[in-house]
């Protein structure tokens, strides 16, 4: 897999996690543990994307 395809995959995963977070936040009783886990995953993806965009 080339770098561009890998970054595109990471961006897609990041966007999907954003959607999941938004749905969870708009539920009547959002699960704070689940939100924390999702936000950490989103941040790790963002950091990895940034790493590839710097090179």
The secondary structure of the chain in percent helix, strand, coil, rounded to multiples of 5, reads 85, 0, 15
Structure tokens at 52: 């590839």
Q: How far is it, in rounded angstroms, from Cα 32 to Cα 21?
A: 10
Q: What is the pLDDT of residue 53?
A: 84
Model confidence pLDDT, tens digit, residues 3-17: 899 999 999 999 999
Q: pTM for the full model? A: 0.85
Q: What is the pLDDT of residue 55?
A: 61
Q: What is the pLDDT of residue 52?
A: 87
Model confidence pLDDT, tens digit, residues 30-52: 999 999 999 999 999 999 999 98
Length of the chain in terms of residues written = 55
């Amino acid at each position: 897999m080339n770098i561009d395809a890998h970054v595109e995959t990471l961006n897609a995963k990041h966007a999907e996690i954003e959607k999941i977070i938004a749905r969870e936040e708009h539920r009547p009783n959002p699960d704070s543990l689940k939100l924390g886990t999702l936000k950490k995953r989103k941040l790790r993806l963002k950091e990895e994307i940034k790493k590839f965009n710097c090179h």
